[in-house]
Amino acid sequence: MGGTSQHYWRGRTAEFSNRVRKSTLARSGQSFEALGLKTYTSNEDHIADLLNEAWKNFQSHPESFAQWENFQIEELRRKFGPVA
């Protein structure tokens, strides 16, 4: 009987996992919206994009990275104001 039970669940475990994952994602999205949270989009200015760009710049041009970094810091200060 144990072997039959294992055989029955073998194909259904992935199906069940997918249903749980999809349901969790849908409910999470609804909860985030209810809280007023927004999803990340690259169309907006995000610090994550700037950090990714910084890493690429550092790897490709390490000798001029400090100059690039200083420029980006000044841009952030212009956009968001000085740090209190």
Looking at residue 30, its pLDDT comes to: 87
Cα separation of 9 and 15, whole Å? 10
User: Residue 20: what pLDDT?
Assistant: 86
Closest of 69, 44, 43, 45 to residue 55, by C-alpha: 69
How much is the pLDDT for 43? 64
Tens of pLDDT along the chain (84 residues) come to: 455 566 666 667 777 788 888 888 888 888 888 888 776 666 666 788 889 999 999 999 999 999 999 999 998 888 877 776
Closest listed residue to residue 70, CA positions, set 57, 23, 60: 57
pTM: predicted TM-score of the whole model, two decimal places: 0.46
Residue 5: the pLDDT is 60
